[in-house]
Amino acid sequence: MIRSWKTLALSLALVVASGPAWAQATRTISNRAARGDYAPVTVEVHPGHGVTLNFRPVGAIVRRAWLDDPSQVTLDFDDTRCAAVAAPGECAATVIHLRQIQPLAFPGLPATATTTLTVVTDRDLYTFQLAFPNSGAPAYSILAIQPDAPSPYASAILTTQIASPDGVRWVEQGLLEAQRRNLVATEDPLWERLQALLDQLKQGTPLTEAAQAAGVSEALVVRLAELGRSDAGITQGR
């Protein structure tokens, strides 16, 4: 009888100890996936459970973040200045915390089951598709963005195409297209960095050196060139 009680007590202890383990589970994705190069990553935000987006592994500083539909989720940052809409340029966060709330009614804003979160950092642009399940337990509470493994294909593209005068023009046109899509604004620090990159490229500075000096990623330059080239001939892994 004593052994049975001990077995039951041990079983209960294991259940209690392992029950909240999911709360600290971390899901890792590549920087390329987080940028939405192929399709936005879906992030599920369950009722009563938040999700933290961790940009620290890639060394990214969040400057701006916005939701297409802010009626179902709130954003918190590790830098309180990021909550001040009047001074977005002062934001310097490294993590974003998402939390589901009771749906709010905004005049003129249609109700949606999902929404897009766009994040602008000092080096890159990220897009996430947010979903709001009404049941089930979350599989993770932290989404960590990890650096991409070097791609020999991307390196070949960078050195042979973007370093040319035509490539510089594609990047410049791609930046204007990104502005048109509201992915970057002229008051963003990222815009200033990209202008510095273009100045370096126009002076004949090699792309790798120009990107490092301006503080932007080479992958972002490829994405801008893709936007700026009419036939979309530059693609990752091509």
CATH topology for 24-146?
Immunoglobulin-like (2.60.40)
Work out the pLDDT band at 18, boundaries 50, 70, 90.
Answer: very low
**How far apart are the C-alpha atoms of 168 and 166, rounded to whole Å?**
5
Nearest residue to 225 (alpha-carbon basis) of 198, 204, 199, 205: 198
Angle, helices 189-202 vs 207-214, to 10°: value is 150
pLDDT at 116 (0 to 100): 92
Kindly give the pairing relationship between strand 73-77 and strand 26-30. Answer: unpaired
The reported pLDDT for the residue numbered 102 is 82
- Helix crossing, 165-180 with 218-228: angle to 10°? 80
pLDDT confidence of residue 103 = 78
pLDDT digits (tens, 9 = 90+) for 148-201: 775 665 556 655 677 788 889 989 998 998 888 777 888 888 899 999 999 999
CA distance 166 to 161: 8
Q: Where in the chain is the domain with CATH 2.60.40?
A: 24-146
